[in-house]
Amino acid sequence: QQQVKQSPQSLIVQKGGISIINCAYENTAFDYFPWYQQFPGKGPALLIAIRPDVSEKKEGRFTISFNKSAKQFSLHIMDSQPGDSATYFCAARFGNEKLTFGTGTRLTIIP
């Protein structure tokens, strides 16, 4: 089964800290790994994505780290802000198959 396992289920981080969310997968054919961000009352939206030919991708305060040998990838949010409080979903897919989503992480940034 094409699963993507995400942890933790919930995370509380102080303002200014680093938030880290992890995902692991089994299918070595996966070739695209996006992260989606969902604010309360909204649908998820693409935040950042990486392909397995690079080990890291950074966009502003958001970084994806990718470890192909360990079959893991993670989202790091630097200098976390209260506005980053949201639910985050990792996902993966291979070829033109549909995305497989992780179970989500509810992130809360406290002052």
Partner 1 sequence: DVKVTQSSRYLVKRTGEKVFLECVQDMDHENMFWYRQDPGLGLRLIYFSYDVKMKEKGDIPEGYSVSREKKERFSLILESASTNQTSMYLCASSFGRGDTQYFGPGTRLTVL
Which of 11, 22, 99, 108 is in the footprint of partner 1 by CB under 8 A?
A: 99
5 in contact with partner 1 (CB under 8 A) = no
Q: Is 75 in contact with 87 (CB distance < 8 Å)?
A: no
Per-residue x/- marks for partner 1, 52-91, CB under 8 A?
Answer: -------------------------------------x--
Which of 33, 64, 75, 93 is in the footprint of partner 1 by CB under 8 A?
A: 93
How many residues make contact with partner 1 (CB under 8 A)? 22
d(CA 72, CA 74): 7
41 vs 111, beta carbon nearer partner 1: 41
Over the Cα atoms of the chain, what is R_g? 13
- Under 8 Å CB-to-CB from 27, ≥6 apart: which residues? 2, 92, 94
